[in-house]
Amino acid sequence: MTWIDHNAPLVTMADRAAVDRVLQSGWIAPGPERRRLEEDVVAYFGAGRAVATTSGTLALFLALVGLEAPADALIAVPTYSCVALLDAVRLAGCRPLVVDVEPDGLTMSPQSLRDASDRTGRPYAAFVVHTYGATAALPDLAEICPNLVEDCCHSFGSRGPHGEHGTFGRVAVSSLYATKVFTGATGGLCWSADTEISERITSYTEASFRSSRWPRMPLTLSDVHAALARSQLSRLAQVRERREWITNQYLAACPDALAPAGLPDPGRLVYRFVLRCADEEERERLLGFFHKHEVDASRLTQRHELLHRELGAAPGYFPVAEATVGRTLSLPLYPAMSDSDVQRVCDLLTKLPC
């Protein structure tokens, strides 16, 4: 029996050919292939301008540059998320305002954002993550903080009630890291339909840009990475279809009490299939069960990684994240899984020691 990894990229012969074409071209630094990737992203969304960066963290930073976030500005971030959000806020010379998440989708809670705003003042902008592909409450959040940055690292290709993820906020970002929906091995994307915002972002990436406020650093993606990302983006429809098929297989086998909230959802690209265990004891028991059968289930975010704990904030303001983090267990779900891998996971779902 072979071990089933929690994540693995799907790299096709077309991907290899795309990278090899650039390697043989004589130009591998940021150049024409990177610009074509940016054009492909704009074509996908139908408007605006995009920048391909060296990381998702720098894409978040560029979003704040585009929004002209003042020094020391408050930037709202969900506590149940990646530390890259904090890194980007700090890099921009701003201050994080950490808020709790919704019980079902684990996206930023409008009520928690409102409460935090009442305590500290309204944030200048908010990083809104569509966690695991679930659609955040964008209109409600925008009422409190109009400068929304949609983080589509988990949800590029998802559609919600207000359209394609990445088209509601004033600016949006995604990651091209190896585990994401589509990959350049590394990298990030930042895009906006707002002309002034996109002009500020693209101007910042030019070599001639100088500012006493913003630090200068290498930002744009190499053509080698861009070639891989372009090839992968061209298959996004097939990626959606494969993820949806795997999700439906899991849902058919999964006990209702453990099934992820909000599924099935025909518009959602499911990034993670996250079981909701009764408590931490059950989660650890199921984790051991899957590992015993050579399936790499994952705890995902752990308690010490919650962003409010990173900052030493009192946990009482974050009851949902604190209650959730000990109960989540993620199963492998990615297009590179074989049908037999999927069937093995389904068989285990029907035999869980609940």
pLDDT, the chain, mean: 96
Are 292 and 212 found together in one domain?
no
Question: Averaged over 50-70, what is the pLDDT?
Answer: 97
In a domain, 2, yes or no: no
**Three-state DSSP class for residue 192:** strand
What CATH number does the domain containing 265 carry? 3.90.1150.10
Question: Which residues form the domain of 334?
Answer: 236-350
Q: Could you read off the pLDDT of 90-117 as tens digits, one per residue? A: 999 999 999 999 999 999 999 999 999 9
Alpha-carbon span 285 to 195, nearest angstrom: 52
Q: Is it the case that residue 205 has pLDDT exceeding 90?
A: no
User: Are 214 and 244 in a shared domain?
Assistant: no
Does residue 7 lie in a domain region? no
Any idea which of 258-262, 274-278, 302-306 has the lowest mean pLDDT?
A: 258-262
Residues 40 and 116 in one domain: yes
* Domain contains 80: yes
In a domain, 127, yes or no: yes
Asked if residue 164 is part of any domain, the answer here is yes
Does residue 6 fall inside a structural domain?
no
Whether pTM exceeds 0.85: yes
Specify whether 274 is located in the same domain as 182. Answer: no
Residue by residue, DSSP assigns 260-294 as: PTT---TT-----EEEE-SSHHHHHHHHHHHHHTT
Pair (86, 131) in one structural domain = yes
Contact present, 183 and 40 (Cβ < 8 Å): no
Which pLDDT tens digit goes with each residue over 116-133? 999 999 999 999 999 999
Left, alpha or beta for 99 (phi > 0: left; psi -120 to 50: alpha)? beta
Q: Is residue 3 part of a domain?
A: no
Q: Is the model's pLDDT at 238 over the cut of 70?
A: yes
What sign does the dihedral 61-67-73-79 (CA atoms) show?
negative
The answer to whether residues 175 and 107 belong to one domain is: yes
Looking at per-residue pLDDT, the higher value among 210 and 125 belongs to 125
Measured distance CA(58)–CA(164) in Å, rounded: 23
Q: Are 152 and 23 within one domain?
A: yes
CA dihedral 236, 238, 242, 248 (to 10 degrees): 90
| Peptide bond between residue 264 and the one before it cis (omega within 30 degrees of 0) | yes
> What is the average per-residue pLDDT within 27-47?
97
Hey, which residues are catalytic here?
A: 180
CA dist., res. 271 & res. 6, Å (int)? 12
Residue 354, pLDDT score: 76
Based on the domain organization, do 109 and 180 belong to the same domain? yes
Does one domain contain both 271 and 218? no
Per-residue pLDDT, 1: 78
Contacts of 196 (CB under 8 A, 6+ apart): none
Decide: helix, strand or coil at residue 328: strand
> 174-198: per-residue pLDDT in tens?
999 999 999 999 999 999 999 999 9
35 and 163 together in one domain: yes
Domain end marker among 211, 231, 251: 231
Whole-number Cα distances in Å, 323 to 102, 260, 297, 317, 343: 11, 16, 20, 12, 31
Looking at the structure, tell me whether residues 206 and 311 fall in a common domain. no
Q: What is the pLDDT of residue 319?
A: 98
Q: Return the closest-CA partner of residue 4 out of 341, 239, 274.
A: 341
Share of the chain above pLDDT 90, in %: 92
Model confidence at 210, in pLDDT bands (50, 70, 90)? low
Same domain, 88 and 216: yes
Domain end marker among 231, 264, 281: 231
| Per-residue confidence (pLDDT) for residue 30, from 0 to 100 | 95
Residue 1 lies in a domain: no
CATH number of 123's domain: 3.40.640.10
Please compute the mean of the pLDDT values over residues 160-187 and round it to a whole number: 97
Number of independent structural domains in the chain = 2
Asked if pLDDT for residue 201 goes beyond 80, the answer is yes
* The last residue of a domain, from among 231, 266, 288: 231
